[in-house]
């Protein structure tokens, strides 16, 4: 009996630890694991949820958005398939309006049949909250096809200012042949701000330049800081960080620089390599051992106290995962905790790390057709807390809803 009591005691202590009442961790981090929450998907690329909403919306690249609630619902929320998917094209991004519960508006980013990049707004069906109204489609922005099928960006997200942001890559090929990243006469290679509360289509405002392919970026739901994972070319993958309080126009350097390396010099008046006019990444990694492309990324704001405020990102080719701590500047590899789910399923390739309505993070595996959820694990004791986490999240969501 004493043994059982002591196991129960450890369980209770660890449970409270991961929900934030104690701190855990020999390595400075609460322990976590991954759980496969969906499989058999057709190249998922992203997940999102309206804030406080318990449903998870899974974006499939061919043009479907599916709802996970218990299981994956048979009827898609939205279906604009089949989109052509050469290179890096397809349905890539989804953002819910901050006031989605009232307005019913959401926004998608995709490349259409002719290759143009499109942001469109839809409205949820008046009759069924699990289905969008396809007739509500309104175009927010169209950026014409560059003739290349890569470096389209891929994320749309609302900033703390209420504007919708779209990150566009340099429009493709390699070496940025049109120097789009530095050019002030194109939207490619830029971070764009869109006012979607006025007349549509919106007029984009360029908020940053010098991006190669900000395929995944996010705003920290707690601080409003912007985190960009900008995909490199030959050598370096980088993370860029802009504080919410910083309204400066940033030039993130491409193609003058790739990460902290000099790349292709532009004639003056363009800044030189290492000029203070160029904003360097806060962290970067190289292409050793098969690494190929950075996949952002979000700040963890979920239930595991020890992970709070860490930026999670991964690599497309190796399915490695790291956390970057903005408080210390330290990067820690977390692959061992996350690459193999408790069910035994293994991540094949990471195409997004993104959050749900409560700030929990998910790893989206495109080629593996699966989605992993990052879960707390009980103090390394070999059992995990999955059975008790849903009620805890439900209670937490209830507290959040009461506060709003
Ligand atoms: Ca850069």
Return the CATH architecture of domain 2-403. 6 Propeller (2.120)
- Give, for 370, the enclosing helix (H) or strand (E): strand 370-376
Q: Where are the domains of the chain?
A: 2-403
Residue 401, pLDDT score: 52
Judge contact between 297 and 227, C-beta under 8 A: yes
Q: Is 135 exposed, middle or buried (0-12, 13-18, 19+ CB in 10 A)?
A: exposed
Distance 150 CA to ligand 1 centre (A): 18
Distance 348 CA to ligand 1 centre (A): 27
Distance 258 CA to ligand 1 centre (A): 6
For the chain, give the number of residues. 404
Q: Which residue has the tokens 């006012």?
A: 195
Distance 173 CA to ligand 1 centre (A): 17
Residue 399, pLDDT score: 60
pLDDT in tens, the chain (404 residues): 334 443 343 344 444 444 443 334 445 555 799 999 999 999 999 999 999 999 999 999 999 999 999 999 999 999 999 999 999 999 999 999 999 999 999 999 999 999 999 999 999 999 999 999 999 999 999 999 999 999 999 999 999 999 999 999 999 999 999 999 999 999 999 999 999 999 999 999 999 999 999 999 999 999 999 999 999 999 999 999 999 999 999 999 999 999 999 999 999 999 999 999 999 999 999 999 999 999 999 999 999 999 999 999 999 999 999 999 999 999 999 999 999 998 899 999 999 999 999 999 999 999 999 999 999 875 444 344 455 555 555 565 566 555 54
Distance 176 CA to ligand 1 centre (A): 13
Cα–Cα dist 15/22, whole Å: 9
Cα–Cα dist 7/156, whole Å: 46
Cα–Cα dist 85/83, whole Å: 6
Rounded (5°) CA angle 286-290-296: 60
Residue 19, pLDDT score: 47
Distance 171 CA to ligand 1 centre (A): 16
Distance 214 CA to ligand 1 centre (A): 10
Distance 278 CA to ligand 1 centre (A): 8
Q: What is the pTM of this model?
A: 0.89
DSSP assignments along 1-21, one per residue: -HHHHHHHHHHHHHHHHHTTS
Distance 264 CA to ligand 1 centre (A): 12
Please compute, for residue 299, the number of CA atoms within 13 A of its CA located in the half-sphere on the CB side.
20
Cα-Cα-Cα-Cα dihedral sign, residues 276, 279, 282, 286:
negative
Tokens of 62: 């061919």
Q: Which residue has the tokens 């993070």?
A: 361
Distance 300 CA to ligand 1 centre (A): 23
Residue 49, pLDDT score: 98
């Amino acid at each position: 009996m004493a043994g059982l009591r002591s196991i129960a005691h450890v369980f209770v202590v660890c449970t409270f630890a991961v929900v934030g009442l104690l701190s855990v961790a020999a390595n400075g981090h609460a322990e976590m694991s991954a759980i496969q929450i969906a499989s058999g998907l057709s190249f998922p690329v992203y997940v999102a949820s309206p804030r406080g909403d318990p449903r998870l919306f899974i974006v499939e690249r061919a043009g479907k958005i599916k709802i996970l609630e218990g299981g994956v619902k048979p009827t898609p929320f939205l279906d604009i398939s089949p989109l052509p998917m050469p290179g890096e094209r397809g349905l890539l991004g989804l953002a819910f309006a901050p006031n989605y519960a009232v307005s019913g508006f959401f926004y998608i980013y995709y490349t259409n049949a002719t290759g143009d990049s499109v942001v469109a707004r839809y409205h949820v069906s008046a009759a069924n909250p699990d289905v969008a109204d396809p007739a509500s489609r309104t175009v927010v922005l169209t950026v014409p096809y560059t003739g290349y099928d890569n470096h389209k960006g891929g994320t749309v997200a609302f900033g703390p200012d209420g504007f919708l942001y779209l990150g566009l890559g340099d429009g493709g090929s390699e070496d940025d042949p049109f120097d789009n990243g530095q050019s002030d006469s194109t939207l490619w290679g830029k971070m764009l701000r869109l006012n979607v509360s006025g007349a549509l289509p919106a007029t984009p405002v360029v908020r940053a330049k010098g991006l190669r392919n900000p395929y995944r970026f996010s705003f920290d739901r707690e601080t409003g800081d912007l985190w960009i994972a900008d995909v490199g070319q030959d050598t370096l993958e980088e993370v860029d960080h802009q504080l919410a309080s910083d309204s400066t126009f940033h030039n993130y350097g491409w193609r003058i620089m790739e990460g902290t390396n000099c790349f292709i010099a532009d004639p003056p008046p363009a800044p030189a390599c290492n000029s203070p006019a160029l904003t360097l990444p806060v962290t970067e990694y190289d292409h050793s051992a098969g690494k190929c492309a950075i996949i952002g990324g979000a700040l963890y704001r979920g239930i595991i106290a020890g992970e709070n405020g860490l930026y999670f990102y991964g690599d497309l080719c190796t399915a490695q995962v790291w956390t970057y701590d903005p408080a210390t500047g330290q990067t820690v590899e977390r692959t061992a905790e996350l690459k193999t789910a408790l069910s035994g399923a293994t991540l094949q390739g990471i195409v997004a790390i993104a959050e749900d309505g409560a700030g929990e993070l998910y790893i989206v595996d495109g080629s593996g057709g699966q989605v992993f959820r990052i879960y707390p694990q009980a103090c390394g004791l070999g059992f995990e807390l999955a059975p008790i986490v849903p009620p805890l999240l439900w209670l937490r969501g209830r507290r959040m809803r009461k506060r709003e």
